[in-house]
Amino acid sequence: MKKLLLFSAFCWLTLLQACGQATDMSYALMLEGLYKETVPTIESVQLKTIMASETEKPLLLDTRQQEEYDVSHLAGARFLGYETFQVEQLQEVPKDAPIVLYCSVGYRSERVGEQLKAAGYTNVRHLYGGLFEWVNQGLPVYDSKGKTNRVHAYSRTWGVWLQKGEKVYGKE
């Protein structure tokens, strides 16, 4: 069934890329095909509310590549990486600390979340829809100079899912 959903999402992606637009339903279908549901998710609006509250804020970890992080990231997020990630990078973080991982759409962050859960971290979630969904909801991202409209769209194929912000490809 998952293969059928993934194939359907791929067909939607191809069609939508040709049309130049994506819909919430097609994005959700694509994510359903990508996610293994091994790590709980948190919605963008939920995370925004938590980050604005006085309670203990989660540790935000960006699991994209450095060049993606440099273009923009969530306020206060720490670069972690995906390809070079080692659990030892978080040895100072308590195993019960609230952690929210994200990447472009959620695939890489879910994989890192699986590793953290296997290492004994108990309060790990990943951002549903990733940074793309965050930006599509009209929520802010930042670079080293402050708030920005620029978002690394990973590739032109994946960039179709990013509906808001200025898309950046490569090391621009």
Same-domain status, 68 and 14: no
The domain total for the chain is 2
Domain region containing 27: 1-34
For the record, the structure tokens of 135 come out as 């930006």
Same-domain status, 104 and 146: yes
Helix, strand, coil shares of the chain, percent, nearest 5, are: 40, 15, 40
Same-domain status, 91 and 134: yes
Interatomic CA distance for residues 146 and 120, integer angstroms: 35
Same-domain status, 79 and 95: yes
Same-domain status, 20 and 69: no
Same-domain status, 78 and 157: yes
For the stretch 48-95, pLDDT in tens is 999 998 778 999 999 999 999 999 999 999 999 999 999 999 999 999
CATH code of the domain containing 145: 3.40.250.10
On average, the pLDDT of the chain sits at 89
Same-domain status, 85 and 141: yes
Same-domain status, 68 and 140: yes
